[in-house]
Structure formats: C-alpha cells, structure tokens
C-alpha cells in the first residue's frame, strides 16, 4: 500500500514552454502533498506544500507564479513549470501524507520523480 | 532553504567494513526519519525515530536518536554492495515545524 506515482518520469522541453507534472496517490487519500526539487548530488529541497482544495504554501525563494501547484482532489496534485528555462532543469519529486493521519506519524510516501531537462 | 547538517558528505568503504552517517540539528526535533536513495531512484523511507534516546535496528542497520532529540545516526554493520546509495536524514519539529527538512545526504560507495 501507499503508492505514489508521478507522470511523466522524464521530459525534455524547449526554453519558454510550460511543463505539467502529475503526482497521484494510488491507494490512499493524500490530504497533503509536497513538492521537492533535487539537483544532481544534492539534497531534496522543499518547494511547496499543497493541501487539497486550498492554495499551496510556497517556501521562501520559490516563485509561485513560475511553479503553479494545483491540488484538486485527494489523489492528485500537479506542478506546472511555466516558461521553463535551462536553470529549471532538475529532478522534481512529490510526496504525500496519507489520511487518516496518525498522531505522531509523519511518514511521507515519495513518488518516483520526474527528471526535467530544458534545452 | 533550510537543511539539517549531515556528515560525512561521502564515504567509500571496503565491503564488510562498517559505515556511519550523522545528523545534527540546532533545534529540538519532534522526530527524525531516514531515507535511502539509490542512484537514479527516489528516496525510500527506512525508519522514523520519535523518542529521546531511541535505538532501532533493521538487520544490519542501527538507528539512534539522541537524548536531546537534536542528533541522530545511522550505522551499517558489515556493508554489502547492495547498501550503495545516498542516505538522508529528514527532521520534523522545532524550528522546522511540520515540514520535513532533509539533510545534505551521505553518499555511500562499497568496494567489493
């Protein structure tokens, strides 16, 4: 149980175009989803936290107009990289917290990641 | 962005040798989690530590949470080539609030 999928697994796009990445919880309801970004050989940096039906909370330094997050249902969150540039090339990983959320249990289930390359 | 201090950054060991990675936080944590990421893969949850001084074992892996809930360690006994990957700690609580804040990771390479 607790499987999270991401689509696409990799994408190459031209500079200036927009790319949408989907994150789905397949066998549980995800009240909260998280989007991370990971550069090669670096750690995961939290970009934003999204709760179903409400606006995402962005981390400091993350442009909300550039990285649009929509959490329309309890099983789907999307991240759209708008007007992508080569510096946006990275590994984008989502994770989800399940419902019902156990007290003192903060386990997150990670998706397989999406590797974005902007040319 | 926020990050938990994790050392060493990189370790290369001979198969059969032990390995340890350490995480330190300046803030008292609610809990700490450990993840393993294989090359080209995504982080996979290993364990969560909640109690002060807690020690948990998973086969050859031993996880410890400090008495002050500010530091943690992961120790692998007699490493195997299958242990290769990056090990991350991730902290919750204190100044991090409900967010999962990752350490920089320790890359483990094992020579057979």
pLDDT tens for chain A, 119 residues long, are: 678 999 999 999 999 999 999 999 888 888 889 999 998 888 999 999 998 888 899 999 999 999 999 988 889 999 999 999 999 999 999 998 865 444 335 577 889 999 999 99
Task: Report the distance separating Cα A47 and Cα A68, nearest Å.
Answer: 11
For the stretch B12-68, pLDDT in tens is: 999 999 999 999 999 999 999 999 999 888 888 899 999 999 999 999 999 999 999
Taking only residues 64 to 103 of chain B, the set having a beta carbon closer than 8 angstroms to any beta carbon of chain A reads 88, 92, 98-103
Task: Report the distance separating Cα B3 and Cα A2, nearest Å.
Answer: 26
Residue A86, phi then psi, degrees to nearest 5:
-50, -35
Name which of A9, A44, A45, A47 to mutate to probe chain B: the one with the most chain B Cβ atoms within 10 A of its Cβ: A44
Closest CA to B103 of B41, B13, B29: B29
Q: Collect all residues of chain A within an 8 Å Cβ-Cβ radius of residue B41.
A: 112-113
Contact A71, A79 (CB under 8 A): no
**CB-based contacts of B92: which residues, under 8 Å, 6+ apart?**
A106, B29, B30, B31, B32, B33, B98, B99, B100, B101
Q: Collect all residues of chain B within an 8 Å Cβ-Cβ radius of residue A60.
A: 1
Contact A34, B98 (CB under 8 A): no
Of B42, B45, B50, the CB nearest to A111: B42
Q: Collect all residues of chain B within an 8 Å Cβ-Cβ radius of residue A92.
A: none
Place of tokens 């001084």: B53
E strand or H helix at A56, and its extent? none
B45 touches chain A (CB under 8 A): yes
CB atoms within 10 A of CB A119: 10
């Amino acid at each position: 149980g607790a499987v999270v999928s991401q689509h696409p697994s990799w994408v190459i796009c031209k500079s200036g175009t927009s790319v949408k990445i989907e994150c789905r919880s397949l066998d549980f309801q995800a009240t909260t989803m998280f989007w991370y970004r990971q550069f090669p050989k670096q750690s995961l940096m939290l970009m934003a936290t999204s709760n179903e039906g409400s606006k995402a909370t962005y981390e400091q330094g993350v442009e909300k107009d550039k990285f649009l997050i929509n959490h329309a249902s309890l099983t789907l969150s999307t991240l759209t990289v708008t007007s992508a540039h080569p510096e946006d090339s990275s590994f984008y990983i989502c994770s989800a917290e399940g419902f019902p959320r156990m007290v003192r249990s903060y386990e997150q289930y990670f998706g397989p990641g999406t590797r974005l390359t902007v040319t | 962005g926020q990050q938990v201090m994790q050392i060493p950054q990189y370790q290369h060991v001979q198969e059969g040798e032990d390995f340890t990675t350490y995480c330190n936080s300046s803030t008292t944590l609610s809990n700490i989690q450990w993840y393993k990421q294989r090359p080209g893969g995504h982080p996979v949850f290993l364990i969560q530590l909640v109690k002060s001084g807690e020690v948990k074992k998973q086969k050859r892996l031993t996880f410890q949470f400090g008495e002050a809930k500010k530091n943690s360690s992961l120790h692998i006994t007699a490493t195997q080539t299958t242990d290769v990957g990056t090990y991350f700690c991730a902290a919750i609580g204190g100044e991090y609030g409900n967010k999962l804040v990752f350490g920089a990771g320790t890359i483990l390479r094992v020579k057979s």
